[in-house]
DNA sequence: GTGAAAGCGCTAACAT
DNA sequence: ATGTTAGCGCTTTCAC
C-alpha cells in the first residue's frame, strides 16, 4: 500500500546525476548547468519527490517552525486547559494576533505550532519543545504581565519575542502599544464631548496594559481638573464589563461618560446602560479600546481606541525572524501608537 | 555563546555507558538495570540533554505533529488571508474546536501546526507539508462543504480526519452533528411555545450543515401543518444575522418565532428585533444554534441547540491518532446528537 | 559545474 | 542486560 517515499537518491538515479546535484537544484543553488537543472526538475516531477524535512533539519539545525504560545500566569490545572483555549479565542483580539502572525510567516514558509502555557508543567513543555529543536523560536502572547515564561525563555537563551512588555524587565524583544496615549485620546474625546462625570472600567490590574490605560486616563482627567475617577475593575470579558458597569451605576448614578479598557467590556457596559434606561451616547457616552470586530458589530457602534494588532503581531513575527536569521542581535522594543476611531457610542 | 547542544553521545560518555543504553532509558524501554537507569538519568540531568527531534523523526518517520487546517472553499487571494484568520476566529466556534483538539493532543505529546487553506496555493502547501513528513496527518475544519482539500488529501493517501461530512463522498473519517435533529428540536420548542408564524435565518447554503438545519426545520414544521417557512440566508456572522432579520421583518411583520442557524446570527436577530420594538421572547421567540459563549453573554440569554463542539473536536483528534497508530484502518464517521438548551430567548 | 564522501543525532536489529 | 553497528535522507566541504 504505502510505497517508500522517493528520496534524493531516487531522483538522482532517475535523472542520471548525483545526489549533490539534485540537492543543489532543490535548494536553488547556482552553479548548476541549466540543462541539467531542467533534467533534474523533470525527474522530480516524475517521481513526485518532496524533500524529507527531518533529514534536512538534522543538518541545517533549522525547522522553519515557530512556537506560537499563548501564556497565562496562572497555575491553572491542566484540566481547565481546553477551557483556557476557548476563553482566549473568545476575545477577537487573539484572532487578529493570529492573523497578523500568519500573514507574516506564511510567505516565508514558516509555520506556527500552537501552544498554551497556563501551568508550570505546560511552560516546561514549551521549553523542552524548543530545546529539542522542534521550533526555532517562540512568539509569546501573555494574558498576564507577571507571566513567568519570558524569564524562563531568556534564561534558557531560547529565541523569543513577546507581545507586550513584561512586568519585570527581561532581555527579550517585544512589541507593545502606547497604552497611556490611547487612554489619553479617550479622555480628551469624552471631555470634548462635554462629559462631566467620567468613570472607567479597567482591565485586570495584574496586567500592565490595564494599569497603563487606567493611569493614562486618570492623568489626563487630573490635568483637566478632575482629580477623582470612579473605577471598576473588569477582566476583559463581556461578563465582567456588565458587572463593572452595573457597579459603577449603583455607586455613581450621575455618570455621563465611560472609558472601558477593551471593546468587549464596552459592549457589556452599553447593554447595562440600555437596560437601565440610559441612552448611549446621549445620556452616557462610552469609549472602548482595541477596535476589534465587535466595535462595528455591536449597537451602537463603538467609538474606540484603535490598536493595530495585526501590524503589531506581524512585527513581532518579523523581529523573531530577524533574530533567527542573525540580522538583528540586540534586544529591541517597538511601540505602536494608538488612534481614536469615532463611531456612535461617544 | 551558543555551545553545541548535548547529544546522546555526550550523555553516554558522561554516564560511562553506550548510546543505546541511554536511548533505552530516554524512551522508557525496559531491560535496563535500575542502577544504570539512575546513573543515566543523573547524567542527563547534569548535561541538560534534550533529544534532537529531527534525528528521531528521521528514523521513526513520525513527528508527533499534526496539521490543524482551517479550510475555505474559496479562491481568496493570499492577501485576504490574515483577514480570513481573523474572521474565522471571530466565531467562538473555532475557539471551542481548538480547545477540544488541544485537550486531546496535549496529554499525548502531539502538537498542532496551524494552517489556513483558503486558496489553491495554500491547499498545495498543506499537501506538501504533509508529504515532506513535517506532520503525521491533518485535522481539517472546512468553512464550506465543497472544500476541495479533503479530496486532495484522500487522493494523496495522506492521513486526515474531517470536522463535518464533505458534500461529495470522500474516503476520509469525519465527525459530525445530526443537524436535522437539532433543527427539529428548535422547531418543536417554538411550536410548543405557541408560535404560529415561524421564520428562519439559515446559514450559507453552500454549507451542508446549513442545508440540513434548514431542511430539518422545514420538515418538522411541515409535519405540523406549516408548509411555508420564510427563509433569509445569512453567513454565520453577526452582521448577516442583522441583515437577515431586518429582511424577514420587512417581508413578514407578523413573525413571532425565529430559528437562527447559529448563535452569532441569533444575537444579531435579537438586536434588530429590539430596535424594531419587539420584545424577545414575548413578541418574538428566538432559538439559536451551537450554544457558544455568546449564548450566555448576550441579552436575552439564548435558547439554543447545543452542539458538543469540544467533544466532537476531541473525537476527531482521537480518530486521527487511531489511524496513525494503525489501530483503526477503516474509514469511520461519528455523528453526535444535539440537545436543546432552554434559556430566555424562547 | 559535478561527484564522492563525511557526517547531523538518533533508533533498532543484531551480537554478545 | 548492554554494546556494536548500520542506516534514516539530507547538506556540505572537498576533490576533480
Model pLDDT for residues B303-315, shown as the tens digit of each residue: 999 999 999 999 9
Can you tell me the mean pLDDT for B101-123? 95
* Protein-to-nucleotide distance from the CA of B332 to the C1' of C15, whole angstroms: 45
Question: Which residues 186-245 in chain B show a CB within 8 A of chain A?
Answer: 238-239, 242
Which tens digit of pLDDT belongs to each residue from A80-119? 666 788 778 777 888 899 999 999 999 999 999 999 999 9
Output the distance from A13 CA to D6 C1' rounded to whole Å.
Answer: 22
Of A204-208, A255-259, A315-319, B279-283, give the lowest mean pLDDT range: A204-208
> How many angstroms separate the CA of residue A60 from the nearest CA in chain B?
10
- Chain A from 44 to 63: CB within 8 A of any B CB: 50-55, 57-58, 63
Mean pLDDT, chain A, as a whole number?
A: 93
Is B299 near chain A, with CB under 8 Å? yes
pLDDT tens digits along A136-193 = 999 999 988 889 999 999 999 999 999 999 989 999 999 999 999 999 999 999 999 9
pLDDT at A231 over 80: yes
At residue B159, the pLDDT reads 98
**B73-B102-B115 Cα angle (round to 5):** 30
Query: What is the nearest nucleotide to A8, using C1' and CA?
Result: D9
Residue nearest to nucleotide D9 (CA to C1'): A55
- What is the mean predicted confidence (pLDDT) over A281-297? 93
Shortest Cα–Cα distance, A339 to chain B (Å)? 20
Residue A2 pLDDT greater than 80, yes or no:
no
**Strand bridging mode A333-336 / A285-290:** unpaired
State whether residue B335 sits within 8 Å of chain A by CB: no
Average pLDDT over residues B103-111: 96
Q: How far apart are CA A164 and CA A142, in angstroms?
A: 8
First to last CA, chain B: 66
Size of interface A-B (CB pairs under 8 A): 158
Which positions on strand D lie below 7 Å from a protein C-beta?
1-5, 7-13
Give the contacts of A79 (CB within 8 A, at least 6 positions apart). none
Please give the mean pLDDT across all residues of chain B.
Answer: 93
Q: What percent of chain B has pLDDT over 70?
A: 96
The predicted-structure confidence for A34-52, as pLDDT tens digits, reads as follows: 999 999 999 999 999 999 9
Q: What pLDDT score was predicted for residue A74? A: 64
Q: Helix, strand, coil % (nearest 5) of chain A? A: 50, 15, 35
* Closest nt to residue B27, judged CA to C1': C11
Mean pLDDT calculated for residue range A11-32: 93
> Across residues A256-265, what is the average pLDDT?
96
Cβ neighbours around A252 below 10 Å, total: 14
**Statement: residue A25 has pLDDT above 50:** yes
pLDDT, average across residues B168-196: 97
Q: Is the pLDDT of residue B85 over 90?
A: no
For A249, the 3-state DSSP assignment is helix
> How far, in Å, CA of A175 to CA of A183, rounded?
18
φ/ψ region of B203 (left if φ > 0, alpha if ψ in -120 to 50, else beta) reads beta
Cell matching residue A236: 476583559
Tell me, what DSSP letter sits at residue A172? S
Task: Return the C-alpha cell found at B56.
Answer: 528521531
Confidence class of residue B1 from pLDDT cuts 50, 70 and 90? Answer: very low
Q: What cell was used for A23?
A: 540537492
Q: Which of A5, A26, A89 to mutate to test the interface with B (most CBs of B within 10 A)?
A: A89
pLDDT in tens, B64-83: 999 999 997 665 555 566 67
| Cβ neighbours, 10 Å, residue A167 | 17
Range scoring the smallest mean pLDDT among A312-326, B9-23, B75-89, B95-109 = B75-89
* pLDDT tens profile B250-276: 999 999 999 999 999 999 999 999 989
Task: Report the DSSP pairing between strands A111-117 and A65-71.
Answer: parallel
Strand C nearby residues, CB < 7 A: A 16-21, 24, 31-33, 35-36, 55, 58-59; B 4-5, 7-9, 19-20, 23, 26-27, 49, 51-52, 55-56, 58-60
Instruction: Choose among A192, A189, A345: nearest CA to A278.
Output: A345
Helical pair A179-192 and A208-223, crossing angle rounded to 10 deg: 40
What digits encode the pLDDT tens for the residues B215-248? 999 999 999 999 999 999 999 988 899 999 999 9
Q: Is A94 on the interface with B (CB under 8 A)?
A: yes
Q: Is the pLDDT of residue B28 over 60?
A: yes
The pLDDT value recorded for residue A81 is 63
Q: How far is A221 from chain B (nearest CA, A)?
A: 32
Q: Min CA distance, B70 vs chain A (Å)?
A: 12
Residue B29's pLDDT is what?
82
CB contact under 8 A, A114 and B116: no
Say whether A312 sits in a helix, a strand or coil: helix
Percent of chain A with pLDDT over 70: 96
Amino acid at each position: 500500500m504505502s510505497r517508500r517515499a522517493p528520496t534524493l537518491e531516487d531522483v538522482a538515479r532517475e535523472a542520471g546525476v548525483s545526489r549533490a546535484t539534485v540537492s543543489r537544484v532543490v535548494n536553488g543553488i547556482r552553479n548548476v548547468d541549466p540543462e541539467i537543472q531542467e533534467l533534474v526538475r523533470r525527474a522530480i516531477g516524475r517521481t513526485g519527490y518532496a524533500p524529507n524535512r527531518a533529514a534536512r533539519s538534522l543538518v541545517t539545525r533549522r525547522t522553519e517552525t515557530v512556537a506560537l504560545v499563548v501564556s497565562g500566569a496562572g497555575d491553572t490545572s491542566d484540566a481547565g486547559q481546553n477551557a483556557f483555549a476557548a476563553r482566549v479565542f473568545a476575545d477577537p483580539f487573539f484572532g487578529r494576533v493570529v492573523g497578523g502572525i500568519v500573514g507574516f510567516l506564511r510567505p516565508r514558509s514558516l509555520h506556527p505550532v500552537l501552544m498554551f502555557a497556563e501551568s508550570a508543567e505546560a511552560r516546561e513543555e514549551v521549553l523542552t519543545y524548543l530545546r529539542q529543536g522542534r521550533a526555532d523560536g517562540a512568539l509569546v502572547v501573555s494574558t498576564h504581565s507577571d507571566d513567568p515564561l519570558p524569564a524562563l525563555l531568556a534564561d534558557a537563551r531560547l529565541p523569543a519575542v513577546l507581545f507586550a512588555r513584561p512586568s519585570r524587565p527581561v532581555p527579550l524583544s517585544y512589541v507593545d502599544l502606547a497604552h497611556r496615549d490611547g487612554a489619553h485620546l479617550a479622555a480628551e474625546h469624552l471631555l470634548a464631548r462635554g462629559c462631566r462625570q467620567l468613570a472607567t472600567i479597567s482591565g485586570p490590574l495584574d496586567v500592565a496594559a490595564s494599569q497603563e490605560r487606567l493611569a493614562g486616563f486618570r492623568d489626563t482627567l487630573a490635568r483637566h481638573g478632575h482629580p477623582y475617577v470612579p473605577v471598576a475593575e473588569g477582566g476583559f470579558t463581556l461578563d465582567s464589563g456588565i458587572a463593572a458597569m452595573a457597579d459603577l451605576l449603583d455607586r455613581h448614578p450621575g455618570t455621563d461618560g465611560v472609558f472601558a479598557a477593551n471593546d468587549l467590556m464596552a459592549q457589556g457596559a452599553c447593554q447595562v446602560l440600555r437596560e437601565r434606561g440610559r441612552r448611549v451616547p446621549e445620556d452616557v457616552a462610552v469609549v472602548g479600546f482595541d477596535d476589534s470586530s465587535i466595535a462595528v458589530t455591536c449597537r451602537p457602534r463603538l467609538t474606540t481606541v484603535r490598536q493595530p494588532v495585526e501590524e503589531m503581531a506581524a512585527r513581532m513575527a518579523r523581529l523573531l525572524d530577524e533574530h533567527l536569521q542573525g540580522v538583528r542581535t540586540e534586544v529591541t522594543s517597538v511601540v505602536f501608537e494608538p488612534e481614536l476611531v469615532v463611531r456612535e457610542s461617544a
